Structure 1
Amino acid sequence: MFVPPANTPDLIPQKFPFVMIDHLTWTDDKSSRTQFCIKADNVLVEDGEFSAGGLVENIAQTAAARAGYLAQNSQKADAIGYIGAIKNLEVFSLPKINDILETEIVIDNQIFDVTLISGKVKRGEETLAQCQMKVFIIQQ
Structure 2
Amino acid sequence: MVDTLVSASEDTTRTTLLVLPGNVLVNDGELSEAGLTENIAQTAAAGAGYAARQLNKPVQPGFIGAIKNLGVFALPKVGDTIETEVKIENQVFDVTIIKGKITCKGDTLAQCEMKIFIQPQ
> Is this a same-fold pair by TM over 0.5?
yes
Task: Using the TM superposition, give the Cα deviation of residue 77 of structure 1 relative to its aligned residue in structure 2, in angstroms.
Answer: 1.4
**Matched residue count:** 121
Name which of 91, 97, 113 aligns with 2:78.
97
Instruction: Write out aligned runs for 1:84-123 (5 A).
Output: 84-123=65-104
Task: Using the TM superposition, give the Cα deviation of residue 138 of structure 1 relative to its aligned residue in structure 2, in angstroms.
Answer: 1.2
CA offsets per residue over residues 41-76 of structure 1, 9 Å max, x none? Answer: 000000001000000000000000011101111011
Q: CA RMSD in A?
A: 0.6
CA offsets per residue over residues 56-105 of structure 1, 9 Å max, x none? Answer: 00000000001110111101112000000000000000000010000000
Name which of 8, 11, 21 aligns with 1:30.
11
Contact 1:77 1:139 in 2 (8 A): no
Name which of 87, 97, 105 aligns with 1:124.
105
Detail structure 1 runs of 4+ shifted over 2 Å in the superposition: none
Task: Using the TM superposition, give the Cα deviation of residue 24 of structure 1 relative to its aligned residue in structure 2, in angstroms.
Answer: 0.6
Query: Aligned partners of 2:9, 2:45: CA distance in 1, in Å?
Result: 14
Q: Which amino acid aligns with 1:93?
A: A
Contact 1:34 1:102 in 2 (8 A): yes
Instruction: Write out aligned runs for 1:50-69 (5 A).
Output: 50-69=31-50
Task: Using the TM superposition, give the Cα deviation of residue 30 of structure 1 relative to its aligned residue in structure 2, in angstroms.
Answer: 1.4
* TM-score, normalisation: structure 2: 0.98
- Report the secondary structure of 1:79's partner residue: coil
Task: Using the TM superposition, give the Cα deviation of residue 139 of structure 1 relative to its aligned residue in structure 2, in angstroms.
Answer: 2.8
* TM-score, normalisation: structure 1: 0.85
Task: Give 5+ residue unaligned stretches, structure 2.
Answer: none
